[in-house]
Amino acid sequence: MCGIVGVLGNHEAAPILVEALKRLEYRGYDSAGIATVHNGHLDRRRAVGKLVNLSDLLVHEPLAGKAGIGHTRWATHGAPSVTNAHPHKAGPVAVVHNGIIENFRELRTALSAKGYDFVTQTDTETVALLAQSHVEAGLSPVDAAVATIDALEGAFALCFLFDGEEDLLIAARKGSPLAIGHGQGENFVGSDAIALAQMTDQVTYLDEGDRAVITRESVSIFDATGAQVQRERRTIAMDAARIEKAGHKHFMAKEIAEQPTVIAEALSYYLSQDGADITLPNPGLDFTQYDRVVMVACGTAFYACYTAKYWFEQVARLPVEIDVASEFRYREPPVSANTLAIFVSQSGETADTLAALRYMKGKAKTILSVVNVAESSIARESDIALPILAGVEVGVASTKAFSCQLTVLALLALKAARTRGEISAETLAARLSDLRTLPGLLTRALDLDETLNAVSNELSEAKDVLFLGRGAMFPLALEGALKLKEISYIHAEGYASGELKHGPIALIDSHTPVIVFAPHDALFDKTVSNMQEVMARGGKVLLVSDKKGLEVAREGVWQTVQMPEVPDLFAPILYAIPAQLIAYHTAVAKGTDVDQPRNLAKSVTVE
């Protein structure tokens, strides 16, 4: 979603702002802009589309000045256009905004009544005009910004810049994260630490409701009541290499390839020294206390929950309810006292997931989150936050975060099973020994890259693709379909194989590839029967299975992909690789923007 940067520096701000915005590109955007103050004069440049358009504009119409703000916009109110792009400027005020101002219509009506004219369709312009009205009423820039922030409802991160003020930025956070970067005689603002990576590794995250008054020499933070507060300054591990493509054509390719390494890291973090037990960083999680688990997330993270439902129920015998956060938060589900609520999120900032978490506070016995971004709101608002240790994920389509989420959830399910006496210490040790083989198996699955590339070239011609799976491979079928549609723009659906004949089989024809994930496990024969039903109706099947499975079922199949054999329980983690590589190569064959697919944002901070 939208990205914010602010600079009070000792060098020209424009190149620094554009560079920082580049680091925020991964969040998804459709226009961008910057504003600076130079010789007391506030000016701005904005462009639709990729940042290169803004850079080109700046070549022809440069912006001087060492103080500035910048923004990448993901449209919510008003189409992507230069007029609607940020920074929004009203009189002496420029502002950049991430989030949604819910009461903007009321504010707009009141400002219109006072004679202020609106030229955009955005909620953000209201913020700029309100601040202008306060300045014109005689307030100082700081007081005008604070009075404006106080009047706003909704979720937002904001950064203000004022005409005539070359040493002042005002930042505010309510619902959308914002960080301040501390330099030597210069200070910065960024939506996340990644934006600040090339400027500083000293970062302070604003808390909910905080406002910060920033100059080159000082940062003063006030809470929502106006009381001055101290927030922890942290040194962030800015391993710049981890946010480069490292020789890959796309971040997504790099992140798919990283999976053996990051999963090995996650395993070594959670496994005891002898590898026979699971050590959770927080001892407060006692699985004998719970009689039910509720898991809530969005998108790919939801499919990780869906997979984990099979594990928790089959191995730990704990009933699990799952839901997408956008539905869960409004359906007012009753919650029994002995519920463990688990929220899964790569970014830790997804607005619906955060709202669902807040709904569960005081109702569930424990709020547990499984997150990638350790400093995120979801992590901070949980009783226990378990890191997935995937490292920075830049590609909008989630890959390594998904497999790391699965790994951590598998460990949790095994821990629950052992604690509840459902499995012996020996069985746990055996399952963990299985799990430790995963990085090696993932590496072998990555060797299928060329085969999957060839298959994907053919898939790229398709208009519709179906994915089938049974048991824990069903959520993977859903994830495979999501991955394919989001980056290749080919329509795809995932179905439980057994459900096909209850309707979707009507879609089968010789033009619709059907991708079947079927390791040779206890459910294999059932899945193969469903696959035969597809082939009997002229459907062309791509069967992803192992040596044993292909020996039995390859006849009449359009294409096969032979996977390494994998212990049954962990097959969804291994089979995520072909699901991801199929989507990736199909998108490359279609020439889409793989890392920043149209209309999508990496961190969805609006509902």
Catalytic residues, which ones? Answer: 2, 602
Shortest distance in whole angstroms from residue 332 CB to ligand F6R: 22
Distance CA 492, CA 499 (A): 16
Shortest distance in whole angstroms from residue 602 CB to ligand F6R: 7
Return the structure tokens found at 570.
């962990």
Candidates 123, 486, 546, 595; binder of ligand F6R (CB under 6 A) is: 486
| Rg of the chain taking only CA atoms, in angstroms | 26
- 603 is an interface residue for ligand F6R by CB under 6 A: yes
- 572 is an interface residue for ligand F6R by CB under 6 A: no
Q: Any idea which residue has 């469903």 for tokens?
A: 530
User: Which residue, 116 or 402, is less far from ligand F6R as judged by CB?
Assistant: 402
User: Which residue, 300 or 497, is less far from ligand F6R as judged by CB?
Assistant: 300
In this structure, the number of other CB atoms found within 10 A of the CB of residue 123 comes to 24
- 353 is an interface residue for ligand F6R by CB under 6 A: yes
List the interface residues with ligand F6R, window 517-556 (CB under 6 A). Answer: none
Distance CA 342, CA 415 (A): 15
Alpha-carbon torsion, ordered 30, 174, 87, 125, to 10 deg: 100
User: Which residue, 301 or 341, is less far from ligand F6R as judged by CB?
Assistant: 301
Interface stretch with ligand F6R, choices 60-68, 123-131, 259-267, 295-303 (CB under 6 A)? 295-303
- 605 is an interface residue for ligand F6R by CB under 6 A: no
Full strand arrangement of the beta sheet holding 366-371: 320-324, 292-297, 339-345, 366-371, 384-387
Candidates 122, 126, 204, 300; binder of ligand F6R (CB under 6 A) is: 300
Distance CA 29, CA 301 (A): 21
What is the per-residue burial (b if ≥16 Cβ within 10 Å, else e) of 145-175? bbbbbebbeebbbbbbbbbebbebbbbbbbb
Shortest distance in whole angstroms from residue 138 CB to ligand F6R: 43
Q: Is the dihedral of CA 579, 585, 587, 593 positive or negative?
A: positive
- 569 is an interface residue for ligand F6R by CB under 6 A: no
Give the per-residue contact string, 355-394, with ligand F6R (x = CB under 6 A; - = no).
----------------------------------------
Helix (H, G, I), strand (E, B) or coil at 47: strand
User: Which residue, 82 or 600, is less far from ligand F6R as judged by CB?
Assistant: 600
Return the structure tokens found at 229.
């507060």
- 476 is an interface residue for ligand F6R by CB under 6 A: no
Candidates 133, 176, 345, 586; binder of ligand F6R (CB under 6 A) is: 345
- 398 is an interface residue for ligand F6R by CB under 6 A: yes
Shortest distance in whole angstroms from residue 579 CB to ligand F6R: 11
Shortest distance in whole angstroms from residue 132 CB to ligand F6R: 35
Candidates 8, 368, 397, 553; binder of ligand F6R (CB under 6 A) is: 397
Distance CA 72, CA 605 (A): 14
- 157 is an interface residue for ligand F6R by CB under 6 A: no
Candidates 84, 350, 382, 580; binder of ligand F6R (CB under 6 A) is: 350
Per DSSP, the residues of 148-196 read HHHH--EEEEEEEEETT-TT-EEEEEEBS--EEEE-SS-EEEESSTTTT
Question: Closest-CB residue for ligand F6R?
Answer: 299
Return the structure tokens found at 338.
């002995």
Q: What are the residues binding ligand F6R (CB under 6 A)?
A: 298-301, 345-347, 350, 353, 397-398, 482, 486, 603-604
